[in-house]
Amino acid sequence: MNGQHIVDLLPGTDVGGFIVETLLGRGASGAVYRARRGGESFALKLQAHPGMGSWAEREVSILMRLEHPNVVGFRHCGLHPEKQPIWFYLAMELVEGRTLHRWVREENPSARRVVALMRNLAHGLDALHGKQALHRDIKEANIQVREATGEAVLLDVGVGHYAGALRLTQGILPPGTPQYRSPEALAFRRERGRQEDAHYEATRADDLYALGVVLYWMLTDRHPFEAPVTATEVETLIREPPVPPHLRNPRVPEAVSLLCLRLLAKTPEARGEGARALDEALAALVMDDTWDVSLLPDVAEAPPAPMPRDEAEEHEAWMAHGEALGPPRRGKVPLPPVLPLSVNARVSRRFVHPTGASWKGWGLLACVM
């Protein structure tokens, strides 16, 4: 059974007493549904059994260790169907809101607001670490911002680890996302990658580094380094410091920029004593009115970048990942005006992106039948 079959569950399907309502997301090994039981909504995660059973049980073991507002809550788990199990299901708290990536892109927060979110994440991470557990895959996609309170919540500890847990993979590095791996993890792979029995043991410092990558992105709309692929890129991440956030984005206060660089330090011990110490450092930041300014220009207010003169320049600009189009922008993109339909009314074939760049798209010919 794979993720493709799992997402075929229809609304109304009963999984261990949880009634499926709608699909929330899917991956290579499973899917997450919105489900209901007894008048309460849940996030219902299904994974193939027994193929992914060990990872699912690992996630349950971690979530059962704690109840914290900044870590998604465990509610129930089991096998489905009961007689001939095909799936392992995990019912979790349904965190109503948006992923951190989407929330930041749409809300264009200030430095003060980013610090508040970071304190939420430090609290959640401290709770995990306090139970001798690691997340091991902290990134924007695994963080949700509650719609009701604006608090950040850590999600998806499915590749996490805890003291005494069995090793579930054979690779030299534990599961995770390359762009968020620590320098010491990449250095270990570079130095011992040819040893058959070599296996990197992640630590709390790896989680802190990944949190630093998230903070850097929130401050600048860029990651400190691209995902390391070539040997040169790996060496750069291991040895070279990133561009300080306040130099990449002048709206970033220097104090929080320096704190971000501390989390991205090349050695684990330089990142501080842990998540609780990080929270204390965030709380000690002295803020003035400049911390209330949105960190990036708003898409609705910023002037458009100059129009490329021809398609060759246009293509080159987009291939440069937007650098040639001016600084990144955030905020909710305003809806285009509604044009009255008329016979043979033609809309321009050139679409203007909120950043000011444009490209040729499908022509629209509206006809009243």
Annotated ligand binding at 139? The verdict is: no
CATH architecture of 3-93: 2-Layer Sandwich (3.30)
The band of 352, judged by pLDDT with boundaries at 50, 70 and 90, is very low
Pick the range with the lowest mean pLDDT from 157-161, 198-202, 325-329, 337-341. Answer: 337-341
Boundaries of CATH 1.10.510.10 in the chain?
97-292
Measured over the CA atoms of residue 204, residue 205, residue 206 and residue 209, the dihedral's sign is positive
Average pLDDT over residues 96-107: 97
The band of 76, judged by pLDDT with boundaries at 50, 70 and 90, is very high
Boundaries of CATH 3.30.200.20 in the chain?
3-93
Selection from 28-32, 34-38, 317-321 with the highest mean pLDDT: 34-38
Q: What is the pLDDT of residues 202-255, one digit of tens each?
A: 999 999 999 999 999 999 999 999 888 889 999 999 999 999 999 999 999 999
Residue 35 in this model has a pLDDT that exceeds 50: yes
Q: Are 18 and 42 in contact (CB under 8 A)?
A: yes
What pLDDT is recorded for position 339?
63
What pLDDT is recorded for position 357?
43
97-292: which CATH number, 1.10.510.10, 1.10.760.10, 2.30.30.40, 1.20.120.1200? 1.10.510.10
| 32 token code pair | 């997450």
Residue 53 in this model has a pLDDT that exceeds 80: no
Residue 3 in this model has a pLDDT that exceeds 80: no
